[in-house]
Each structure stands twice: as structure tokens, then as C-alpha cells.
Copies of this chain bind each other. A is one copy, B any other.
Amino acid sequence: MSQPLPSLEVCLSPALLHLFHTKNTITVIIDVFRATSTIVAALDNGATKVIPVSTVEECIALGKAIPNSITAGERDGKVADGLQYGNSPSEYPVSFVKGRSLVLTTTNGTRLLHMVNEASEIITGSFPNLTAVCDFLVQQNKNVLLACASWKDRFNLEDALFAGAVAQKVAEHFTINCDSARACMSLDSDAKGNYFEYLKRGAHYKRLSGYGLESDMIYCTTPDIHPVVPILKGNELLIHS
């Protein structure tokens, strides 16, 4: 008899995380606009590691302690006081980040990352590493939880759309008995591969384009431009090899 397929589930908000098993599960942290897009951009462009932290204070302290580091993070769409750089993936080209450590504070993504600490592996996903994430999940052959960072616990369209794109691509390798996953797959069907266009109907499009960040959103929704998998080791995100 063949082995049953591992399960794939989607958690639409950190406020629902208690309803899911994260133990012995690969958890994919999804924060498309923009934390998990920026993380994969920095690592693929040569950063030695990304250290996600919750507060600006921690970010400043770690930045002082770690040689050749960059401190980054935004609050309300602006570089936070005391930090050097923002949360835009395009701020981290090879010429800038190669060989350096990025200490990044984000609100939603980092919080979720710390909430799932029982997971067997924690990786991060966004459109720039869509296929790399899918390939990793299929190879591992374990239960998967796609965990949307959302926006202050409110469901958001971009994280759910990415979860749907992953679920759709790996569906034949998993048992999907999770209505959230099925709903996300409908988002993916409705988007027909035009992720950025689809997300123009979302609340974040309005907020971020108000900050002049439309080009960031195009970057964050472009598939497979950074085909690597950031994986958490201790408190550091590194490229899975």
C-alpha cells in the first residue's frame, strides 16, 4: 500500500494559528508586502544572513553587536527612527548587501515567525521564490502549514493569494482537506497568473501606492526572480542548501 500523502493547510491570520498543529510541520511564513520578499531578495543577493526582530530597539542593539551589519525596518511606510534602511526589496542589490548581515524589524511577519517556534522547519515565502518554495515542500514530504502574516491579524489578499499559488502548484503531492487552502486556490484561479493586477483590488495596494510604493509591489509579485529558500536556523534566516 502506498503511504498517505502529507497534509497541506493554510492559516489565514495569526489570530487563527491556535487552530492548527505546527509541531512536526514545515511552516511557511508569508508576508508578501514586503517582509518575506525583502528577506529573499537580500539573501539571494548575497547577504550572509537576515535576522528578523520584533522591535526597533532590538534592531539597533543587534546592529551594534554584529560587525558589517545593516539595520532596517519601517513603521507606517517610513524608515523607523534610529534605523538605516527600509523594507523595500529593491534597497538590497548585490552591490550593497553582499557579505553583510541584515537585521530587519517587521511587525506582522516577525511576530508570526516567533509564534510558530514548534515547527520542524520554518521557511519564508513570497512570489520572488514561489517555485523554490514549492520544490522544497515537495522534496521534504512532510505536513505543511502555509501561514499568512496578514496585517494586524486582519486577513489580507496578497498573502492568501501566494498561499493559493503554492497550494495549486503542489496539490498532487499533498492531501488538502483544509477549506482555507481551497479558498486560496480559488484566488489563484481568479488571478490567472496576473498577481499584481489581481492585487490592485486589495487594501494594501491602496495603502502602499499612497506611499509611492507601486514598484515595490511589482517586485514582490514577480515570480521566481530570487529562486532560493530562506530557512530559520536559531534566530537567523539563511539560504537552504
Q: Report how many copies the assembly holds.
A: 2
- Please determine whether B183 and A153 come into contact, CB atoms closer than 8 angstroms: no
Give the CA-CA distance A77 to B180 in the complex, in Å.
Answer: 23
- Please determine whether A179 and B206 come into contact, CB atoms closer than 8 angstroms: no
- Please determine whether B179 and A12 come into contact, CB atoms closer than 8 angstroms: no
- Please determine whether B157 and A19 come into contact, CB atoms closer than 8 angstroms: no
Distance between A56 CB and nearest chain B CB, rounded to angstroms: 25
Contacts of A153 in B (CB 8 A): 16, 19
- Please determine whether A16 and B19 come into contact, CB atoms closer than 8 angstroms: no
- Please determine whether A154 and B16 come into contact, CB atoms closer than 8 angstroms: yes
- Please determine whether B190 and A178 come into contact, CB atoms closer than 8 angstroms: no
- Please determine whether A155 and B180 come into contact, CB atoms closer than 8 angstroms: yes
Contacts of A180 in B (CB 8 A): 154-155
Which of A157, A182, A202 has the most CB atoms of chain B within a 10 A radius of its CB?
Answer: A182
Q: Given that A153-B16, A154-B16 are known contacts, is A186 also in contact with B179, CB under 8 Å in the complex?
A: no
Q: Is A30 an interface residue, CB under 8 A from the partner? A: no
Q: Given that A16-B13, A16-B16, A189-B190 are known contacts, is A182 also in contact with B206, CB under 8 Å in the complex?
A: no
Give the CA-CA distance A201 to B171 in the complex, in Å.
Answer: 13
Q: Given that A16-B16, A190-B189 are known contacts, is A156 also in contact with B177, CB under 8 Å in the complex?
A: no
- Please determine whether B154 and A182 come into contact, CB atoms closer than 8 angstroms: no
